[in-house]
């Protein structure tokens, strides 16, 4: 597999170290994310998957190291980070993280109100377009999160993440809590959006079906670092955790489903 050129790398993590007191979560971790790919991030409990995501989008500061996103160093000056950069990514947090007091449409409008000067009429129209884009019916726009099913909440959160037409999409356990049918439909939606919008997708997941269905590469957090490769490469890896993860009962079931 040929190395990616500098122009192809949309996220570059170098020498990342994360410590909480005496506990080291990441140590000298390197990771590249290539433009246009879907990369899955997996790892055991406590390996710092969500921490890594928060560091990349600037919600947490690493102890050491450098993170570049879209050519900008997000670790250099987190307080002074350009708003334009934040407009270029969208984030779907676990459980959708919707505001319970706002309707679905109002939730989708939040990034537009915070980070842009879009006119009110265009904002409402754009929100409706995003709601339709993720496969939700028009009448869902006036519903509150408590009135939505788990799958609808995920799609609503995705619509909000897409509100500003980002280049980068971050997903934190997007299919967690969904039944297998709803999870498979969500995977198909992500695949379709990546292809139609030209997105780069960084996805934290435990869902082996998602890794088989839509990921171009996978970053496995083991031994405080990231081991990155295509699925077939990781299937051949002899690291004990990687072998247990991909060749255990769930891994065999996911592989069987892929070839069925």
* CATH code for the domain in which residue 176 is found: 3.40.50.300
Q: Is residue 21 part of a domain?
A: yes
Q: Is residue 80 part of a domain?
A: no
**Residue-level pLDDT at 76:** 79
| Averaged confidence pLDDT in the chain | 90
Q: Is residue 85 part of a domain?
A: no
Write out the DSSP string of 50-117.
Answer: HHHHHHHTTSS--SEEEEEETTEETTT-GGG--HHHHHTEEEE-TTTT--TTS-HHHHHHHHHHHH--
Reduced to 3 states (helix: H, G, I; strand: E, B; else coil), residue 226 is strand
| CA atoms within 13 Å, Cβ hemisphere of 93 | 7
Q: How far apart are the first and last CA of the chain?
A: 27
Which residues lie below 8 Å from residue 98, measured CB to CB, with a gap of 6+?
104, 107, 145, 153, 156, 157, 160
Q: Is residue 236 part of a domain?
A: yes
**Residue-level pLDDT at 257:** 64
Task: Give mean pLDDT in consecutive 10-residue pieces for the chain, a chain of 260 residues.
Answer: 69 97 97 97 95 93 95 75 80 83 95 87 93 95 93 93 95 91 94 95 94 96 97 95 88 62
Q: Is residue 1 part of a domain?
A: no
Reduced to 3 states (helix: H, G, I; strand: E, B; else coil), residue 10 is strand
Q: Is residue 83 part of a domain?
A: no
Query: Are the CB atoms for 33 and 71 separated by under 8 Å?
Result: no
Q: In the β-sheet with 89-92, what is the strand arrangement from edge to edge?
A: 89-92, 168-172, 200-204, 38-43, 217-222, 225-229
**Residue-level pLDDT at 60:** 92
Split into its structural domains, the chain has a count of: 1
Which residues lie below 8 Å from residue 254, measured CB to CB, with a gap of 6+?
208, 209, 211, 212
**Residue-level pLDDT at 252:** 60
Report the predicted TM-score, pTM, of the whole model to 2 decimal places: 0.90
Q: In the β-sheet with 9-20, what is the strand arrangement from edge to edge?
A: 23-34, 9-20, 64-69, 72-73
Q: Is residue 84 part of a domain?
A: no
**Residue-level pLDDT at 75:** 87
Q: Is residue 215 part of a domain?
A: yes
> Using one digit for the tens of pLDDT, what is the confidence trace for 91-122?
998 766 899 999 999 999 999 998 888 888 89
Q: What percent of the chain has pLDDT over 70?
A: 90
CA dihedral sign, ordered 165, 169, 170, 172: positive
Beta-strand relationship, 168-172 and 89-92: parallel
Domain that holds residue 252: 6-75+90-259
């Amino acid at each position: 597999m040929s190395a990616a050129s500098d122009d192809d790398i949309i996220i570059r993590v170098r020498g990342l170290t994360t410590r909480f007191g005496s506990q080291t979560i990441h140590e000298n971790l390197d990771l590249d994310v290539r433009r246009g790919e879907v990369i899955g991030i997996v790892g055991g409990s406590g390996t710092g998957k969500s921490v890594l995501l928060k560091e990349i989008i600037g919600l947490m500061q690493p102890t050491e190291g450098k993170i570049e996103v879209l050519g900008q160093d997000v670790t250099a000056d987190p307080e002074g980070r350009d708003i334009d950069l934040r407009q270029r990514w969208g984030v779907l947090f676990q459980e959708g993280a919707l505001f319970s007091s706002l309707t679905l449409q109002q939730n989708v409008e939040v990034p537009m109100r915070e980070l842009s000067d879009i006119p009110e009429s265009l904002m409402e129209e754009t929100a409706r377009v995003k709601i339709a884009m993720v496969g939700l019916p028009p009448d869902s726009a006036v519903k509150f999160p408590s009135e939505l099913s788990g799958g609808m909440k995920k799609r609503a959160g995705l619509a909000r993440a897409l509100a500003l037409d980002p280049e980068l999409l971050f997903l934190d356990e997007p299919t967690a809590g969904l039944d297998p049918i709803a999870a498979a439909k969500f995977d198909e939606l992500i695949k379709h959006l990546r292809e139609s919008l030209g997105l780069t997708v960084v996805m934290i997941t435990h869902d082996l079906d998602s890794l088989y269905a839509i990921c171009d590469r996978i970053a496995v957090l083991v031994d405080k670092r990231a081991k990155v490769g295509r699925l077939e490469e990781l299937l051949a890896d002899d690291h004990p955790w990687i072998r247990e993860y991909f060749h255990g009962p769930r891994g065999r079931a996911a592989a069987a489903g892929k070839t069925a």
